[in-house]
């Protein structure tokens, strides 16, 4: 009697696992930020959230480059985002200053986490919207999760430069948690640069600008993060005006084919 051959285990090439490895690394960075905050290592905790945001921005793009998009990766990315951007940053602020505010401080933490969960849920369902026009992918609806996570730590970053006397305040932390949480679930359009194309003539200046940005970020990280946060908040009114112009042009049929962007819902790149 012949033995039946054992079924071969399915094997996946390593390049298909790289995007999920980046996502898991972002999750670990978010959890590590909480650990740092519990030990009052504030600068390290903020740095860990920045690392999580960078990894979150890379995983979707790497998945597209390697043709490794999957539904599993998209769901893992969403769960990782909630922990890294919806739980870790408000917990850092709680350990930093809101714990002294008692129950009120905890309410602000819960409010932001709920807003993050609602934002991610809305983003996931919007990916499957058949009525969404291609040009709308130039914009997010509300502030995306990584940006919201970094913006709520603005008071903490400013305290690194100017001291705790002015910015280490439960009122200040609660204000940012409330405002940024509201912006995340709002319908305000904000710029999305994930599909942006750079003209060939501007490639060299852009690379030079990136080099200068990295140099300043390494030499004066907190000042650069403060400037970036201020620029991003200032860009929100501009994005609203730009959205209205795009919408009007689309209604008038004035958009060119190359101005429309294809939608790829197999993997999320940002949220």
pLDDT of residue 4: 62
Q: For residues 54 and 12, what is the distance between their CA atoms, to the nearest angstrom?
A: 26
Residue 106 has pLDDT above 90, yes or no: yes
Q: What is the mean pLDDT of the chain?
A: 84
By the 8 A CB rule, do 183 and 143 touch?
yes
Distance CA 107, CA 104 (A): 5
Ordered domains of the chain (ranges, CATH): 15-252 (1.20.120.1760)
Q: Is 60 exceeded by the pLDDT of residue 259?
A: no
Exposed e or buried b per residue across 161-173, where buried means at least 16 C-beta atoms within 10 angstroms of its C-beta:
eeeeeebbbbebb
Q: Which two tokens stand for residue 242?
A: 């730009």
Q: Is the pLDDT at 59 greater than 60, yes or no?
A: yes
Check residue 151 and give its pLDDT. 94
How do residues 109-168 score in pLDDT, each as one tens digit?
A: 999 999 999 999 988 887 666 666 665 677 888 899 999 999 999 999 999 988 888 889
pLDDT at position 267, please?
Answer: 45
- Region of poorest pLDDT, from 58-72, 141-155, 230-244: 58-72
Give the model confidence (pLDDT) of 17-34 as tens digits. Answer: 888 899 999 999 999 999
Residue 83: predicted pLDDT? 95
Contact 46/159 with Cβ under 8 angstroms? Answer: no
Number of Cβ within 10 Å of residue 131's Cβ equals 5
The number of CA neighbours under 13 Å toward the Cβ of 197 is 7
pTM, entire model: 0.84
Q: 191: part of which helix (H) or strand (E)?
A: strand 189-191
pLDDT band at 176 (very low <50, low <70, confident <90, very high): very high
Residues paired with 139 in a beta bridge: 191
Q: Provide the phi-psi class of 5: left if phi over 0, else alpha when psi is between -120 and 50, else beta.
A: beta
Q: What is the mean pLDDT of residues 38-60?
A: 92
Q: Under DSSP, is residue 17 helix (H, G, I), strand (E, B) or coil?
A: coil
Distance CA 174, CA 102 (A): 12
The pLDDT assigned to 130 comes to 61
């Amino acid at each position: 009697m012949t033995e039946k051959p054992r079924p071969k285990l399915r094997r996946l090439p390593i390049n298909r696992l790289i995007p999920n490895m980046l996502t898991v690394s972002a999750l670990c960075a978010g959890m590590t930020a909480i650990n740092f905050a519990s030990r009052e290592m504030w600068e390290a905790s903020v740095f860990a959230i920045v690392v999580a945001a960078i990894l979150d921005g890379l995983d979707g793009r790497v998945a597209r480059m390697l043709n490794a998009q999957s539904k599993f990766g998209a769901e893992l990315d969403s769960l990782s985002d909630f922990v890294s951007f919806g739980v870790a940053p408000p917990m850092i602020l709680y350990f930093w200053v809101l714990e002294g505010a008692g129950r009120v401080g905890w309410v602000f933490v819960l409010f932001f986490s709920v807003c993050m969960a609602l934002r991610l849920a809305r983003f996931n369902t919007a990916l499957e919207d058949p009525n969404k026009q291609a040009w709308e992918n130039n914009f997010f609806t509300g502030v995306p999760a990584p940006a919201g996570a970094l913006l709520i730590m603005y008071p903490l970053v400013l305290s690194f430069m100017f001291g705790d006397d002015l910015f280490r305040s439960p009122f200040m932390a609660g204000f940012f948690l409330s405002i940024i949480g509201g912006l995340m679930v709002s319908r305000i359009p904000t710029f999305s640069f994930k599909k942006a194309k750079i003209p060939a003539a501007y490639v060299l200046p852009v690379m030079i600008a990136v080099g200068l940005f990295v140099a300043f970020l390494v030499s004066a990280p907190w000042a650069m993060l403060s400037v970036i946060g201020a620029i991003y908040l200032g860009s929100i009114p501009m994005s609203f005006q730009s959205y209205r112009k795009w919408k009007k042009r689309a209604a008038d049929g004035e958009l060119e084919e190359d101005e429309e962007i294809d939608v790829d819902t197999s993997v999320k790149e940002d949220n």
